[in-house]
Amino acid sequence: MELFLSGKHHTIIVKIYGELDHHAAIGVRESVDRELGRTGARNVAFDLSKVTFMDSSGIGVIMGRYKITKALGGRVIVYGASGDVKRIIEMSGIDSIAVVADSEEAGMREVEANV
């Protein structure tokens, strides 16, 4: 997992590599929450383009970050998913609470348009 702050949009970008299951989700949510507290960012963007496997645990991570960013007045952005990862995101209906986009730029445009 690669995690960095994009100051321009008060956004933490979380690029996840490999598999996002329940085991990996524990580490992801701890790191992201620590970074949110440390940086004062209010948005979290998940880049899923390098995720090779994801089950419903990934949806749990997104839902959990939605609750936190909502309290901060921010949003969750999810982008870059393909194949079965994309299918699970679509099945979950997570687009009703998070910005689901094809690219980081498209996701950020939507966040800015709704500020």
* Residue number, 51 or 108, with CB nearest to another protein: 51
Q: What stretches of the chain adopt beta strand conformation (E)?
A: 2-6, 11-15, 18-20, 43-47, 51-54, 76-79, 99-101
Q: Given the rule CB under 8 A, which of 6-14, 42-50, 72-80, 88-96 is the region that contacts another protein?
A: 88-96
Among 10, 55, 72, 97, binds another protein (CB under 8 A): 55
Q: How are beta strands 18-20 and 43-47 bridged, if at all?
A: unpaired
CA pair distance 103, 109, nearest whole angstrom: 10
Interface contacts to another protein, rule CB under 8 A: 19, 21-23, 25-26, 29, 53, 55-57, 59-61, 63-64, 83-84, 88, 91-92
